Chain A
Amino acid sequence: MDKQKMFTIPELTKLFFVHTKLIAKTTLEYKFHRSLISVAIFCREMISIVTMYLIMIRFVSIKGWDMNEMLFLYSFLFISYSLFVFVFAGIRDFDAMVQSGELDRFLLRPLGLIYQVIASRADFSATLGHGAVGVILLIKTAGSVGIEWNLRNTLAYIAVILGGTVIQASLFMVSSCFSFWTVNTTNLRNLVFFNARRFAAYPLSFYPGVIRYLLIFLLPFAFVNYFPSLYFLNKPEVSILGGWIPYLTPVVGAVLFFLVYTFWKFGLKHYSSVGN
């Protein structure tokens, strides 16, 4: 019986998409509202790009970065964030799941907790809003920054996007760990995350040492967009690791996720549910 009750990877994948189907159905129940949110996100992010554009347009390039390269650098943030809110929205909304007692329900099912948290949420509005911005930036810049889109580079690109998604998921997950002690850190998390992301919109070489170290070692956005961009744009700084640079991103993602997951499991031991 035990063997039969174990879930195989195809079964988990199937169940993941059964969840996704139900989430899509729920989203369609509120088509108008959810579309408005998408449009609002799109406009908000486009404004930040136009702002950047207006600042940069006076210069041909800064510290060796021209406009298109900067936008290419920025596009990583949108594409990986878009994937993050599609796959890992449950980690983002974890605090609400604890509050509503949804977590208790997950604990009553014969499935891993983190699996259920991830499978039970997807934010289609944010995925579309951020995704559209990212794709527009990528299309506008991909041809003009001198990248050869061969198989090698395409694989590297996919690895970077996946790794970047996991890095951001891990950062969000740190705050969800505190929910087990009923400490809500959502506001603090948003403050830290989105400000760090704002810094990451510009090349790391623009910043003084402290901020660089922060973005490499503490909130490793440097691996989400800066280091991969050095590789794809053939910047002189890449010489040491060369072709392996893009693969640092998934490695950092995996290590970070593992560390945070360990903390998460520790937190789960202290979980005391919510009263009625």
Chain B
Amino acid sequence: MSYIEVNNLVKDYKINVKKRGILGSMQSLLIPEYKMIRAVDDISFSIKKGEMVGFIGPNGAGKSTTVKMLTGILMPTSGNIITGGLSPHSDRKKNAARIGAVFGQRTQLWWDLPAEDTFDLLRYVYKMPEKKFKANMETFNELLGLNEFISKPVRQLSLGQRMRADIAASLIHDPEIVFFDEPTIGLDVVAKQKVRDFVRHMNKEKNITMLFTTHDMGDIEKTCDRMLIIDKGKIIYDGTPDDIKKKYAKYRTLIIDFVEKQSGIEIPGVEVCEDKGNKVQFRFIKDEVSAQELISSLTKKYEISDFTLQEADIENVIREIYEGGIKCDENLCGVC
């Protein structure tokens, strides 16, 4: 049973082409010239209730535009969206009561006032009974440590604190679906981790359906069971983060700490990609070279104090997909 259903969704933006100079601006005032940009190009997918889906793609891929259509802010150029039986744009108000949305680059908090004032306003906006409101605030305080900074004007908060408050504000009314648009953008490692943990927790505990937009692969790997990759307005991958790794991560890296400094080690099929004396990195294609044999042949010849085996970095895989180095094949990608 799918909860969010998207079919052949398209969004075109009409852009006013501005000309340079006085004559040019006169001309564009009198005879405006337009250019169409297809930001979202015929995408389809469906999301089940309680699912947590990552939506990843480079800047300008069409992520925010998709989220704006899913939340009812924008009307699709064509195609249709059903979220929980409603059309987000034509049933906007009804739909809005059940969804939450976090936009990492914007805030919904009143900038000059303490965050608690915005929360108070939201209580009325969502018509929450006082008891429920208090209970939710209590939970968010426990999980996000809101009380440390909730009485300070928002403009004085750190980005991480502001984001925590913003996330709480978007979840205060117990939404059934929550959309995150780059919630970790600009955050440091610790703050990022807090956001990821919280999002994961809410998804598991309250069975909230979530769509998580990012261009940071770390976000997806740590939080989502399923990912969609979007590029140039098209979905080029729909599956688990693991599958993409298995299929496309050809390389493995073995890092060995030798007891003594070694140099000039040569093994067929294995490339030395970093040599720092005692610590050497070997890179090899996992289907051609067995890690176990490599390790045992090295331990026979040299004295080894420690080693680590690294799977290919999914970040690199994604980058290669964007750059066209990897072509998705039919059986892995739902829509190519």
Contacts and interface: CB of A to CB of B under 8 A. Distances in A.
Interface residues of A, number: 30
Interface in B203-245: none
Contact of A15 (B68, B92, B125): B125
B153 A19 contact: no
A107 B92 contact: yes
Interface in B95-123: 96-97, 99, 101, 103, 105-106, 108, 110, 112-113, 117, 120-121
B127 to A, nearest CB: 7
Given A26-B112, A104-B73, A107-B72, A272 B105 contact: no
Nearest to B13: A272
Contacts of A140: none
Contact of A108 (B94, B96, B124): B96
A110 B113 contact: no
The prevalent SS among residues of B at the interface is mixed
Nearest to B92: A107
A276 interface: yes
Nearest to A8: B127
Nearest to B75: A269
Contacts of A5: 94, 97, 127
A22 interface: yes
Interface string B59-83: 0000010001001111100000000
Contacts of B94: 2, 5, 110
Interface string A111-131: 110000000000000000000
A195 interface: no
B16 interface: yes
Contact of A25 (B75, B93, B113): B113
Nearest to B93: A110
B261 interface: no
Contacts of A275: 64
Given A25-B113, A26-B112, A110-B96, A273 B74 contact: yes
A15 B97 contact: no
B302 interface: no
B126 interface: yes
B125 A109 contact: yes
B74 A271 contact: yes
Best-buried of A14, A25, A104, A275 by chain B (most CB within 10 Å): A104
Interface in A23-43: 25-26, 29-30
B132 interface: no
Interface string B241-278: 00000000000000000000000000000000000000
Interface string B136-161: 00000000000000000100000000
A22 B72 contact: no
A150 interface: no
B73 A273 contact: yes
A105 interface: yes
A108 B101 contact: yes
Q: Which of B96, B99, B126 has the most CB of A within 10 A?
A: B96
A101 interface: yes
A110 B125 contact: yes
A107 B113 contact: no
A149 interface: no
A182 interface: yes
Given A29-B153, A272-B13, A107 B73 contact: yes
Most central of A15, A30, A110, A182 by chain B CB within 10 Å = A110
B14 interface: yes
Contacts of A104: 68, 73, 103, 106
B68 A26 contact: no
A7 B127 contact: yes
A29 B93 CA distance: 33
Given A269-B75, A276-B105, A29 B112 contact: yes
A237 interface: no
A103 to B, nearest CB: 9
Contacts of B92: 107
Contacts of A182: 16
A4 B74 CA distance: 26
A30 B153 CA distance: 13
26 contacts: A2-B94, A5-B94, A7-B127, A11-B127, A15-B124, A18-B120, A22-B113, A25-B117, A26-B110, A29-B112, A29-B113, A29-B153, A101-B106, A104-B106, A105-B106, A107-B71, A107-B72, A107-B73, A108-B71, A108-B73, A108-B101, A110-B93, A110-B94, A112-B93, A272-B14, A273-B74
Q: Which 9 A-B pairs have the closest CB atoms?
A: A110-B97, A110-B96, A15-B124, A107-B73, A26-B112, A110-B93, A29-B112, A101-B106, A104-B73
Interface of B: 13-14, 16, 64, 68, 71-75, 92-94, 96-97, 99, 101, 103, 105-106, 108, 110, 112-113, 117, 120-121, 124-127, 153
Given A29-B112, A111-B93, 4 more contacts: A2-B94, A4-B127, A14-B124, A273-B68
